[in-house]
A and B are shown apart, each in its own frame.
Chain A
Amino acid sequence: MADVETFEHDVLVIGAGGAGLRAAIEAAAGGVRVGVVCKSLLGKAHTVMAEGGVAAALGNVDDRDNWRVHFADTMRGGQYLNNWRMAEIHAKEAPARVNELEAWGAVFDRTPDGRILQRNFGGHRYPRLAHVGDRTGLEMIRTLQDHAVHLGIDVHMEVTVIALLTDGNRVCGAVAYDREHGRFRLFHARAVILATGGVGRAFSVTSNSWEYTADGQMLAYNAGAALQDMEFVQFHPTGMVWPLSVRGLLVTEAVRGEGGVLRNSEGRRFMFDDIPENYRSQTADTPEEGWRYVQGDKNARRPPELLTRDHVARCIMREVRAGRGSPHGGVYLDIAWIREKLPNAAEHIRKKLPSMYHQFKQLADIDITSEPMEIGPTTHYMMGGIRVDGDTQMTTLPGLFAAGECAAGLHGANRLGGNSLSDLLVFGKRAGEHAAQFAQRHDAGRVDAGEVDRVARAALAPFDRVAGGEGPYDIQRDLQVMMQDLVGIVRREDEMRGALDGLAALARRVSAVGVAGNREYNPGWHTAMDLPNLMAVSEAITRAALERRESRGGHFRDDYPDKDPAFAGCNIVLTKGTDGAMQLVRQPIPPLPAELQQAIEEQKA
Chain B
Amino acid sequence: MSAATFRIWRGERGDGRFEDYPTTVSEGMVVLDAVHRIQSEQANDLACRWNCKAGKCGSCSAEINGKPRLMCMTRLNELDLAKPVTIEPMRAFPHVRDLVTDVSWNFRVKQKIQPFTPCAPQAADGTWRMQQRDVDRVQEFRKCIECFLCQDVCHVLRDHNRHDSFVGPRFLVHVAALEMHPLDTADRMAELREADGIGYCNITKCCTTVCPEGIAITDNAIIPLKERVVDRFYDPLKALVRLMRRETRDERRETS
Complex Cα distance, B181 from A105, in Å, reads 8
* A132-B139, A249-B54, A362-B73 known; A114 vs B97 contact (CB < 8 Å): no
A3 at the interface (CB under 8 A from B): no
A364 at the interface (CB under 8 A from B): yes
Complex Cα distance, B97 from A522, in Å, reads 9
B128 at the interface (CB under 8 A from A): yes
Question: Can you list, as one digit per residue, whether each of A405-418 has a CB less than 8 Å from chain B (1) or not (0)?
Answer: 00000000000000
B52 contacts A48, C-beta separation under 8 Å: yes
A359 contacts B55, C-beta separation under 8 Å: yes
- Which residues of B125-149 are within 8 A (CB) of A? 126-132, 135, 138-139, 142-143, 145-146
Chain B residues with Cβ below 8 Å from A115 are 127, 129
Chain A residues with Cβ below 8 Å from B66 are none
A579 at the interface (CB under 8 A from B): no
In this complex, how many residues of chain B approach chain A with their Cβ under 8 Å: the count is 59
Complex Cα distance, B110 from A118, in Å, reads 31
A-B contact count (CB 8 A): 171
Closest to B135 in A: A107
B53 contacts A364, C-beta separation under 8 Å: no
* A138-B145, A473-B39, A523-B39 known; A210 vs B139 contact (CB < 8 Å): no
B126 contacts A363, C-beta separation under 8 Å: no
A139 touches which of B12, B142, B146, B184 (Cβ 8 Å): B142
B48 at the interface (CB under 8 A from A): yes
Chain B residues with Cβ below 8 Å from A157 are 104, 107
Complex Cα distance, B129 from A49, in Å, reads 27
Task: Choose the segment among B26-34, B154-162, B242-250 that binds chain A (4+ C-beta atoms closer than 8 Å).
Answer: B26-34
Complex Cα distance, B178 from A101, in Å, reads 15
Instruction: Report A503 CB to chain B, min CB distance, Å.
Output: 21
B59 contacts A359, C-beta separation under 8 Å: no
B30 contacts A363, C-beta separation under 8 Å: yes
B129 contacts A114, C-beta separation under 8 Å: yes
Chain B residues with Cβ below 8 Å from A477 are 40
A99 at the interface (CB under 8 A from B): yes
A142 at the interface (CB under 8 A from B): yes
Closest to B106 in A: A41
Complex Cα distance, B115 from A147, in Å, reads 7
- Which residues of A319-375 are within 8 A (CB) of B? 355, 358-359, 362-364
Complex Cα distance, B126 from A105, in Å, reads 15
A110 contacts B54, C-beta separation under 8 Å: no
B58 at the interface (CB under 8 A from A): yes
Question: Can you list, as one digit per residue, whether each of A190-232 has a CB less than 8 Å from chain B (1) or not (0)?
Answer: 0000000000000000000111000000000000000000000
Instruction: Report A236 CB to chain B, min CB distance, Å.
Output: 14
* A132-B139, A363-B75 known; A99 vs B44 contact (CB < 8 Å): no
* A245-B33, A523-B44 known; A209 vs B28 contact (CB < 8 Å): no
Instruction: Report A251 CB to chain B, min CB distance, Å.
Output: 10
- Which residues of A79-128 are within 8 A (CB) of B? 99, 102-105, 107, 109-110, 113-116
A40 touches which of B51, B96, B116 (Cβ 8 Å): B51
B30 contacts A210, C-beta separation under 8 Å: no
B230 at the interface (CB under 8 A from A): no
* A43-B146, A107-B181 known; A523 vs B28 contact (CB < 8 Å): no
Question: Can you list, as one digit per residue, whether each of A242-257 has a CB less than 8 Å from chain B (1) or not (0)?
Answer: 1111100110000000
Closest to B97 in A: A521
Chain B residues with Cβ below 8 Å from A187 are none
B52 contacts A49, C-beta separation under 8 Å: yes
Chain A residues with Cβ below 8 Å from B29 are 243, 245
Chain B residues with Cβ below 8 Å from A102 are 127-128
A521 touches which of B30, B96, B116, B126 (Cβ 8 Å): B96
B199 at the interface (CB under 8 A from A): no
Task: Choose the segment among A278-286, A512-520, A551-559, A584-592 that binds chain B (4+ C-beta atoms closer than 8 Å).
Answer: A512-520
Instruction: Report A388 CB to chain B, min CB distance, Å.
Output: 26
A149 contacts B107, C-beta separation under 8 Å: yes
* A135-B56, A520-B12 known; A363 vs B48 contact (CB < 8 Å): no
A146 at the interface (CB under 8 A from B): yes
Closest to B52 in A: A49
Question: Can you list, as one digit per residue, whether each of A40-76 has a CB less than 8 Å from chain B (1) or not (0)?
Answer: 1111111011000000000000000000000000000
B59 contacts A363, C-beta separation under 8 Å: no
B28 contacts A103, C-beta separation under 8 Å: no
Complex Cα distance, B72 from A49, in Å, reads 14
Instruction: Report B28 CB to chain A, min CB distance, Å.
Output: 2
Chain A residues with Cβ below 8 Å from B12 are 520
B127 touches which of A40, A99, A246, A518 (Cβ 8 Å): A99
Chain A residues with Cβ below 8 Å from B47 are 521-523
Instruction: Report B245 CB to chain A, min CB distance, Å.
Output: 22
A146 contacts B116, C-beta separation under 8 Å: yes
Chain B residues with Cβ below 8 Å from A523 are 39, 44-48
From B57, B132, B142, B178, residue with most partner A Cβ within 10 Å: B57
B45 contacts A517, C-beta separation under 8 Å: yes
* A135-B143, A138-B143, A211-B51 known; A110 vs B73 contact (CB < 8 Å): no
- Which residues of A479-509 are within 8 A (CB) of B? none
A525 at the interface (CB under 8 A from B): yes
* A107-B138, A109-B132, A472-B44 known; A364 vs B28 contact (CB < 8 Å): yes
Closest to B139 in A: A107
Instruction: Report B212 CB to chain A, min CB distance, Å.
Output: 9
Chain B residues with Cβ below 8 Å from A474 are 40
Chain A residues with Cβ below 8 Å from B135 are 107, 110
B100 at the interface (CB under 8 A from A): yes
A244 touches which of B26, B40, B41, B184 (Cβ 8 Å): B26
A242 contacts B126, C-beta separation under 8 Å: no
B118 at the interface (CB under 8 A from A): yes
B131 contacts A110, C-beta separation under 8 Å: yes
Question: Can you list, as one digit per residue, whether each of B99-110 has a CB less than 8 Å from chain A (1) or not (0)?
Answer: 010111001001
Complex Cα distance, B135 from A147, in Å, reads 20
* A105-B181, A362-B55 known; A142 vs B142 contact (CB < 8 Å): yes
A110 contacts B130, C-beta separation under 8 Å: yes
Complex Cα distance, B143 from A246, in Å, reads 22
Closest to A250 in B: B54
Complex Cα distance, B131 from A246, in Å, reads 37
Instruction: Report B18 CB to chain A, min CB distance, Å.
Output: 18
B255 at the interface (CB under 8 A from A): no
A114 touches which of B30, B48, B130, B138 (Cβ 8 Å): B130
A146 touches which of B49, B53, B110 (Cβ 8 Å): B110
A44 contacts B51, C-beta separation under 8 Å: yes
Closest to B44 in A: A524
B98 at the interface (CB under 8 A from A): yes
B110 contacts A149, C-beta separation under 8 Å: yes
Chain B residues with Cβ below 8 Å from A210 are 50-51
A150 at the interface (CB under 8 A from B): yes
B2 at the interface (CB under 8 A from A): no
A113 contacts B129, C-beta separation under 8 Å: yes
Complex Cα distance, B51 from A523, in Å, reads 13
Closest to A355 in B: B56
* A138-B143, A245-B29, A363-B75 known; A517 vs B100 contact (CB < 8 Å): no
- 18 additional A-B residue pairs with CB within 8 Å, beyond A49-B52, A471-B44, A525-B45: A40-B59, A43-B58, A44-B52, A45-B51, A102-B127, A114-B128, A132-B142, A138-B56, A244-B27, A245-B29, A358-B55, A359-B55, A362-B75, A364-B28, A473-B39, A518-B45, A521-B98, A523-B39
Q: List 19 A-B contacts (CB under 8 A).
A: A41-B59, A99-B126, A102-B127, A105-B181, A146-B115, A147-B115, A150-B111, A209-B50, A244-B27, A245-B30, A472-B44, A473-B41, A516-B45, A520-B97, A521-B47, A521-B100, A522-B44, A524-B39, A524-B44
